[in-house]
Amino acid sequence: MKITRISLWHVPLTSHTAYHMAEGKTCSTVESVVLALDTDAGLTGWGEVCPIPHYLPAYARGVVPAVEEMAPVLLGAEPVGPEAVMAKLDHWLQGHPYAKSAIDIALWDLTAQAANLPLHALLGGRRQADMPLYHSITCVAPEEMARIAREAQESGITQFQVKLGADLDWLADVARLRLVREAVGDGPLVYGDWNCGATSLDASRVGRAVADLDIMLEQPCATIEDCARVRAACGLPMKLDENAHDTASLLAGHAAGVMDAVAIKLSKFGGLSASRRARDLCLHLGARMCIEDTWGSDITTAALLHLGASTDPLRVLNVCDLSHYVSPRLAPEAPQRRHGRIAPPEGPGLGVRPDREALGAPASVIG
């Protein structure tokens, strides 16, 4: 089997609710890039990457030129055995993990289809039927965030990510955490996320003010060193997100004591291949994992669900159904949340097949 054609689409994804984060970061409509790898065997592998503006060094309109640069390696390549192909791409074009992520997902989709197996069977075998979801709460007025948390809890959600820092008011952040904690009661996981947007001083003040509560903090500051200062000041458990993107950063976060949990996001690491290696390292380090991606719809959601399903349930803190937060759905038959949990798609490969006609005219066709 050989890759014969590469097609890419730009697909605007609109959030059902405008999503506010620290430092004025907002997700309203974000462009996702969908990729299809066609083969001479009649199989098509699908990939997707959706960079959030101002979140990481990634740019949606940079994906197509990067893929076009890598096309000489991809066209004519045998897709079965994704890591061998990705090694050639890394030699051809250094960096650009976000652009490579969509390619890697599509290669795994093709490999699993060729084996006539669901993708999770190739990533370690199915370890759990379904996985817990978290619900991310946009940073608005504390009382409204508590209402959103109660509504999500009524649907079965037991984990709540509370976005902080949008108004640069540390006392308002304290209120957000306290009111959400009160709204959902004892037991459910509540964690406050600044997305690198706080100083160590302000995050420490918030942490100390809620230290009497069962709360976890997520990536308060832009560096592992500043996150460690916050941890030392307040003693609360901590999750890394933006700073965790490769083997070296995972080891550094673990050594600094700020990686009780970690976000394994596919496009941060460069796709399923690199994320699987990160997953296996975290199994050794003992960190609980949030297996997800930066943003996107049904294709990347399917990929992360297969990785989550093949991971030790004791180490999977949660997964994220990104497609739940946006429209349009790229594969309407894809799994949806049920009672606060979600299962991977059924069938060979990713188990989702987007409709080309619904995607519209491609931004690029190569081959």
Q: Which residues are catalytic?
A: 163, 265
- Euclidean distance between CA atoms 112 and 9, whole angstroms: 23
Buried b (16+ CB within 10 A) or exposed e, 138-150: bbbebeebbbbbe
| Contact (CB, 8 A) for 177 and 213 | yes
DSSP states along 270-299: TSHHHHHHHHHHHHHHT-EEEEE-SS--HH
Place of tokens 């990457």: 49
C-alpha distance from residue 294 to each of 75, 121, 175 (Å): 28, 24, 27
Chain centroid, CA 84 distance in Å: 24
Q: Residue 78, SS3?
A: coil
C-alpha distance from residue 194 to each of 166, 200, 238 (Å): 8, 11, 12
What phi-psi label fits residue 173: left (phi over 0), alpha (psi between -120 and 50 degrees) or beta? alpha
| Contact (CB, 8 A) for 46 and 109 | yes
